[in-house]
């Protein structure tokens, strides 16, 4: 019994603990830096892993000297709208490609995947032309409409894989009962694909939340910036990095994503492992 416990400790708990330390250390570092004063940060005689004198100055700087809360609200708006737009389009696209099987559908599936592989650094100039022509430059809608260009291919590809695991017989039964394609899609496919839809949604939300290049390019006004761009532009000044407020911003900026993951983790795992067990 003792031997079994020992074995479990070395095989399970110890690797798990090491893994947790590895994953959580950046968060701890952000947390510790947030509550340290500049003097403490620059004092190398002190143990850098501990907080010796707690200070709220960095939080004061972040919340009262920068429009951080506004950036958070902007990021929420952009992440939610672009996720909704992307999921709506991807669901229809994935279903069409996977189930209707029209001529060239498999080629289209591969084509969509290739779209995802095109790096944003190549796309941002043509996209900028469109943004200027649509007169949405320096508007949050520019991001809400541009992000689906990389979210839709990814979500479509993910959902295609998921739809593939749903037995066709379910649809055929519904058809025999007189259901239309749209009815089947809405009443059979969507409920069964909920874990897949959620995991695609989580991915889309996270990618939109963290996106930097387009947010930097298409937004100018400080009050319209997202968290990722706002923190860098306001708290990195030349060769001076305001580490305290930066870490505080990174910490508070990652909380919503962590919450989203923690709420939907079960669906997320199910979405990644397949739909229905036959």
Q: Which is nearer to another protein, 37 or 165 (CB)?
A: 37
Cα distance between residue 132 and residue 149, in whole Å: 16
Q: Is 225 within 8 Å of 71 (Cβ atoms)?
A: yes
Q: Which is nearer to another protein, 69 or 134 (CB)?
A: 134
Instruction: For residue 159, give the 3-state DSSP assignment.
Output: helix
Residue that the structure tokens 């993910």 belong to = 158
The least CB distance from residue 45 to another protein, in Å, is 9
The least CB distance from residue 222 to another protein, in Å, is 7
The least CB distance from residue 241 to another protein, in Å, is 5
Q: Which is nearer to another protein, 10 or 42 (CB)?
A: 42
Cα distance between residue 84 and residue 152, in whole Å: 10
Angle of helix 243-263 relative to helix 14-34, nearest 10 degrees? 140
Q: Which is nearer to another protein, 37 or 105 (CB)?
A: 37
Give the binding site for another protein (CB under 8 A). Answer: 38-39, 42-44, 124-125, 128-129, 132, 137, 216-217, 220-222, 232-234, 236-241
The least CB distance from residue 123 to another protein, in Å, is 12
Cα distance between residue 91 and residue 189, in whole Å: 10
The least CB distance from residue 125 to another protein, in Å, is 5
Cα torsion for 210, 211, 215, 216, to the nearest 10°? Answer: 90
Q: Which is nearer to another protein, 132 or 261 (CB)?
A: 132
* Contacts of 214 by beta carbon, 8 Å cutoff, 6+ apart: 120, 124, 127, 142, 143, 146, 147
Q: Can you read off the two tokens belonging to residue 202?
A: 């989580």
The least CB distance from residue 240 to another protein, in Å, is 4
Distance in angstroms between the alpha carbons of the first and the last residue of the chain: 38
Q: Which is nearer to another protein, 178 or 238 (CB)?
A: 238
């Amino acid at each position: 019994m003792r031997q079994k416990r020992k074995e479990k400790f070395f095989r399970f708990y110890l690797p798990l603990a090491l893994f947790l330390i590895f994953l959580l250390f950046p968060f701890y570092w952000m947390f510790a830096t947030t509550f340290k004063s500049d003097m403490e940060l620059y004092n190398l005689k002190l143990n850098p892993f501990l907080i010796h004198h707690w200070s709220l100055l960095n939080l004061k700087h972040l919340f009262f000297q920068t429009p951080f809360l506004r950036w958070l609200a902007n990021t929420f708006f952009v992440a939610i709208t672009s996720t909704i737009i992307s999921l709506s389009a991807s669901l229809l696209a994935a279903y069409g490609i996977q189930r209707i099987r029209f001529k060239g559908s498999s080629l289209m599936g591969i084509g969509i995947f290739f779209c995802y592989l095109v790096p944003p650094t190549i796309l941002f100039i043509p996209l900028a032309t469109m943004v200027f022509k649509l007169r949405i430059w320096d508007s949050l809608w520019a991001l809400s409409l541009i992000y689906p260009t990389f979210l839709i291919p990814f979500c479509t590809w993910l959902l295609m894989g998921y739809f593939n695991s749903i037995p066709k017989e379910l649809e055929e039964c519904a058809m025999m009962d007189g259901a239309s394609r749209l009815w089947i899609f809405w009443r059979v496919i969507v409920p069964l694909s909920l874990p897949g839809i959620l995991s695609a949604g989580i991915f889309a939300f996270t990618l939109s939340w963290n996106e930097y290049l387009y947010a930097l390019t298409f937004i100018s006004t400080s009050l319209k910036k997202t968290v990722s761009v706002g923190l860098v532009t306001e708290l990195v000044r030349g060769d001076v990095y305001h580490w305290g407020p930066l870490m505080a911003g990174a910490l508070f900026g990652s909380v919503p994503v962590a919450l989203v993951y923690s709420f939907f983790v079960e669906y997320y795992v199910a979405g990644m492992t397949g739909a229905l067990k036959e």
